[in-house]
Amino acid sequence: MPSEAGVGSREIVIEVLRYRSDTDSRPVPQRYRVPFTNDMSVLQGLQYIKDHLDGTLSFRWSCRMAICGSCGMMIDAEPKLACMTFLRDYHPGPLRIEPLTHFPIERDLVVTVGGFVKKIENIYPYLIPKTPRRLDEGEYLQTPTQLAQYESFSDCINCMLCYAACPQFGENPDFIGPGAMALLQRYNGDSRDGAQAKRMELVHTENGAWSCTAVGYCSEVCPKQVDPANAVNQNKTRSALDFFLRFLRPAHSGGAASNGDAR
Amino acid sequence: MNGPRSYLRRTDTLWWARRTYLAYTLREATGIAVAGYAFILLAGLISLANGERAYDVWLNFLKSPWSLALHLLFLIAMVVHVWTWFKIMPKTMPRLVIGRRIVTQNEITAAGIVVAVAAFIVILLVAECVQP
């Protein structure tokens, strides 16, 4: 539905929570009147502000099409991607835009991502084959049913909306959280992977799956239908099973297949 | 990993009262009613162990208007709990694949509710049959 009218046909009030660490002691709201057309996203509204009204406004963005995961922010108190949210749905405003909750604010709408990146690094985010194959032995085969077990978890774009949606992450920033757990399950659920026991050590802890209370809002806000709540909660079941089954298993074999055919 | 002058806003302690978390808060709150009902049944069992007199006292308590009102409240809470419980249940399971099709979460929720309702009817019928 492309609009024929140019910029300026309608106007919306956008209230941005601003924080400039050199001058502000705490975040303060600032209002802008932004002309917009029907096809303009919230991200384009922010770009209009930066280009025409206030060049000091800071925010992250890149792809404009919901694949880079940079422009996550609180839009009327809901975690959303600014590029896939439209100004027309909030007319006449005021539309409140804030940085993602639960994260430290660097400046304006830019939050600190270091903690999240560290968590992703810690979960062994790569395939560790059950049985290493030589090139001449061919590829690692997988059936469509085996693929379906983890496929949605590989769609994560690291936008961190799920962390802003998670009240338990708000209470405990050390909680591994929905996004990193979805990536963990992407590998643990892969039939070709053999490092489940290693990753389950992270899942078993207080800051692993067990900080989650199954609120489920993380999956609702996910722009890619990754369903991180499913990743966290099926790991609770697994973790509980591991706890009880360890009495029956031989020592140190853990949750993964034993290396019977190691060569 | 915070920057030197980053600002961390305080978490809202009343987050559970917000509309977005309504289903979750209802599920957790109605869990208290489930525990309350289990407590009443346990009291009945203890009364039974203490002889006929104690058991009659418990039966009379069940017939009081207070008890009926409480049970009505528990019933409403239980229905809400069952609904929200089966709504979150598919999240706790690995993907269910039949043939090559992933069973949707709505289908799993619906199956759970059907089983709960069927169990309710069976228990009701059995209770009717064994009445003195």
CB B62 within 8 A of CB B8: no
Measured between CA atoms, the residue of chain A closest to residue B4 is A106
Radius of gyration of chain B (CA): 22
Cβ-defined contact of B1 to A219 (cutoff 8 Å): no
Distance CA B4, CA B2 (A): 6
pLDDT at A243 (0 to 100): 87
Residue A34 pLDDT more than 70? yes
Q: How far is CA A25 from CA A19, A22, A106, A108, B1, in A?
A: 8, 8, 13, 13, 20
pLDDT confidence of residue A4:
46
| Residues of chain B neighbouring A167 (CB-CB closer than 8 A) | 11, 15-16, 21
Separation CA B100–CA A141 (nearest Å): 16
C-alpha pair distances (Å), A81 with each of A30, A71, A138, A161, A162: 20, 5, 41, 8, 11
Q: What is the pLDDT of residues A228-256, one digit of tens each?
A: 999 999 999 999 998 888 888 776 544 44
Select the residue of B3, B88, B102 nearest A216 (Cβ to Cβ): B88
Task: Output the pLDDT for position A251.
Answer: 62
C-alpha count within 13 angstroms, C-beta hemisphere, residue A78 = 16
Question: B24 and chain A: CB distance < 8 Å anywhere?
Answer: yes
- Strands, E, within B82-127: which ranges? 97-98, 101-102
**Residue A157 and residue A84: Cα distance in Å, rounded?**
14
If interface means Cβ-Cβ distance under 8 Å, which residues of chain A face chain B? 19, 21-22, 26-27, 78, 101-106, 112, 114-115, 118, 144-145, 148-149, 165, 167, 170-171, 189, 213-217, 219, 227, 229-230, 233-234, 236-237
User: Strand locations in chain A, DSSP E?
Assistant: 10-18, 28-36, 72-75, 78-81, 95-98, 105-107, 110-111
ipTM of the complex in this document? 0.82
pTM of the model: 0.87
pLDDT in tens, B95-121: 888 877 889 999 999 999 999 999 999
Beta-strand runs (E) in chain B: 97-98, 101-102
- High-pLDDT (> 70) share of chain B, %: 96
* Tally of residues, chain B: 132
